[in-house]
Amino acid sequence: MAKITRLNSLPARERDEIYKLLIPGEVLKIFEIEMKTGRNRKGEPVIMVDCPDHQCEGSVEVKNDPRDQDPIFYIEVSDSMDLVQLRWDFILINDIRMPRYNTDITQEGQSRWLKWTSRNIPEELRALQAGLAPGQVRQGLRLMDEVNQCLDRFCGSLGLKSIYMEALFYHNAIAYEQHGFRYFEGEKLMRFINHEFMPGGRLFKLLDDSPFRKRAFHNTVRGRSWAIHDGILEDLADPEFDSWEPAKMYKMIGKYFQVDTFPTAIY
């Protein structure tokens, strides 16, 4: 039986203790949440583990207040075809003390959940001006180092040897590179992007100083990511790389690969 499926069949207390290994301690410290009880300083339950028995996936959500629109932390994991590999399916880390930008909602108020082909341009402009990257609704908490450690502990407790994930946006792929991941698929595209954003490159020449394509974006992770989200690869119409495809990446537990597709990167 696969590891997550087996974990989900354990008694609730034992199962939840293992899932809680995924929660960064800094989240609990900042927002005064008790790990053991799963309650905030008001005594309200704010940690939720969702892992249906006999299913191959599970998630952990941490809120500051049960009534909050957004979690502070949310992660989804699942079994993969490789019985010693974890699929890391999704993560959200929000500083809920900071302003929200409704980039995940259309101008008509409909959800854009994972439907990135539709856009809310006014909210994206606000997010861009506030220093956010595509897909973000709030500033994060800069906890990727600790998230990595949590994933290693979780996998170690289950006997898993590696982690597989897909980088939804360009800036995600760069962040995961910087935290020890390497590519199953997508490294060639990432190096192509870096080359063509360099001064004189074809993507550099398409930076026209419009809001999502400022000339200065060529040498920043966030700027490139906004330009790619804005469709600059489609406009380039290269026969091999005509659009952004989420990079498929992996990491071995306790080990960190050295991959750098953007050597001069600043965020």
Tens of pLDDT, residue by residue over 165-184, are 999 999 999 999 999 999 99
| pLDDT reported for residue 259 | 95
| pLDDT reported for residue 119 | 86
Tens of pLDDT, residue by residue over 15-46, are 999 999 999 999 999 999 999 999 999 999 99
Token pair of 220 as six digits: 């920043």
Mapping DSSP to helix (H, G, I), strand (E, B) and coil, where does residue 120 land? Answer: coil
Q: In the chain, what percentage of residues exceed pLDDT 70?
A: 96
**Cα angle: 171, vertex 172, 177; to 5 degrees:** 100
Q: Does residue 116 have a pLDDT over 60?
A: no
| pLDDT reported for residue 33 | 97
- C-alpha 215/C-alpha 204 separation (Å) is 7
138 in Cβ contact with 102 (< 8 Å): no
Token pair of 51 as six digits: 């892992």
**Res. 54 pLDDT band, cuts 50 70 90:** confident
Torsion of Cα atoms, 34 then 39 then 41 then 46, to 10°? 120
Q: Does residue 108 have a pLDDT over 70?
A: no
Rg (CA), the chain: 19
Phi (first) and psi of residue 179, to 5 degrees? -115, 30
The whole-number average pLDDT for the span 41-65 is 96
**Res. 2 pLDDT band, cuts 50 70 90:** confident
| pLDDT reported for residue 95 | 96
* The overall pTM is greater than 0.75: yes
10 contact partners, CB below 8 Å, separation of at least 6? 18
Tens of pLDDT, residue by residue over 192-237, are 999 999 999 999 999 999 999 999 999 999 999 999 999 999 999 8
Q: Does residue 112 have a pLDDT over 80?
A: no
Token pair of 224 as six digits: 């490139």
**Cα angle: 145, vertex 3, 91; to 5 degrees:** 35
